[in-house]
Amino acid sequence: MNIRSILSLIVAIIILTLAFTSVFVLDETQQAIVTQFGKPVGQPRTQPGLHYKIPIIQKVQFFDARYLEWDGDANQVPTKDKKFIFVDTYARWQITNPLQFFIRLRDENSGQSRLDDILDGETRNAIASHDLLEIVRSTNREPEVEEEFMEDMENLNDISVGRDRIEALVLQRANERTADLGVKILDFRFKRMNYVDEVRDRVYDRMKSERNRIADQFRSEGQGEARKIQGNKERDLAKIQSEATREAEMIQGRADAQATTIYAEAYNKNAQARDLYSFLRSMETLEKSFDEKTSVILSTDSELYRYLKRGN
């Protein structure tokens, strides 16, 4: 291979290298700007496909065209009514003007840091300008009370702003501050709100005390109901026993009356039977009244004497 061939090969390699480095591919999730010696050149490249630049001299800076996530840190913030709460927030944002974004912030990490300052600041301002009830509630919907013991709960005051409007207010004010940064905040939400530890402990203690009070109320009502049931049981039992005794005595009385009637009818129907009955009754009386050591004096007109004499 002679020198001319070598030079031709070198030139071809250089041309191919320059050709490849002058072309870059932009997919649908990206947008880019071309810089020359660190300064942007031309308009942002936002359409996917092949794009061109001057090799070596110019470079490409890529940016994400998709919705980006911002997750704020939980901060302790005082409300307008002097209640300290932890507020955790999140947002979604997008780079809408990559050229302006590059000029002001250079890269996404710087954008996230700038959003930390803006969104955290606007969140603090919004929380400090409204009462806790305004931040927690979104509407003036009446709470559903299903249990009688909750009917005396403290009535909630009506709100004039509400959580949704406060979120919208933070979003609006944050976008006003990011208008010259080439980004747009698409959505902002309160992810979580809670009392600080010492206030939360007091709230939990109050909730426990209230639950214990309700439990004691239920227990007292149950004991009262149990005593009432026990009293009704004893009253019903005494009534049943009284009626049973009365019914038994009535049955016994009717039985005695019926037996007496039967005895009387039998006595009146048969004179011999009457004499036998009288004799048996007399002997029964005599047997129960006397023993071997008993002495008795009978008159001649005594019925016992009459039976004894007849027996001789």
Cβ atoms of 132 and 83 closer than 8 Å: yes
Contact 55, 24 (CB under 8 A): no
Write down the pLDDT at residue 152.
42
Using left for φ > 0, alpha for ψ between -120 and 50, and beta otherwise, residue 190 falls in beta
Tell me which amino acid residue 67 is. Y
pLDDT value for 149: 42
pLDDT tens digit at each of 312 positions of the chain? 577 776 666 767 766 666 667 888 899 999 999 999 888 898 899 889 888 888 888 899 999 999 999 998 888 888 998 888 889 999 999 999 999 999 999 889 999 999 999 999 999 999 999 998 888 888 877 766 555 444 444 456 778 888 999 999 999 999 999 989 999 999 999 998 887 777 667 767 777 888 888 888 888 888 888 888 988 888 888 888 888 888 888 888 888 888 778 777 766 666 566 666 677 777 777 676 767 777 767 676 766 666 666 554
Q: Length of the chain in residues, anyone?
A: 312
C-alpha 126/C-alpha 170 separation (Å) is 7
Q: Which two tokens stand for residue 309?
A: 């004499």
DSSP lists the bridge partners of residue 51 as: 24
Q: Residues 157, 163, 166, 172: is their CA dihedral positive or negative?
A: negative
Looking at residue 151, its pLDDT comes to 43
CB atoms within 10 A of CB 174: 22
Q: What is the CA radius of gyration of the chain?
A: 55
What are the tokens at 49?
Answer: 């496909």
- What are the b/e assignments for 7-17, b being 16+ CB within 10 Å? eeeeeeeeeee
CB 96 within 8 A of CB 183: yes
**Domain extents for the chain?**
3-63, 68-141+157-195, 272-312
Distance (Å, whole) CA 170 – CA 122: 6
Tell me the three-class secondary structure of 190-203, residue by residue: EEEEEECHHHHHHH
> What's the CATH fold of domain 68-141+157-195?
Tetrahydropterin Synthase; Chain A (3.30.479)
Query: Where do the DSSP E strands lie in the chain?
Result: 23-26, 30-36, 39-45, 49-52, 58-64, 68-71, 75-78, 84-95, 183-195
- Name, in order, each residue with C-beta under 8 angstroms of 165's C-beta and a sequence gap of 6 or more: none
In the chain, how long is the greatest CA-to-CA distance?
187
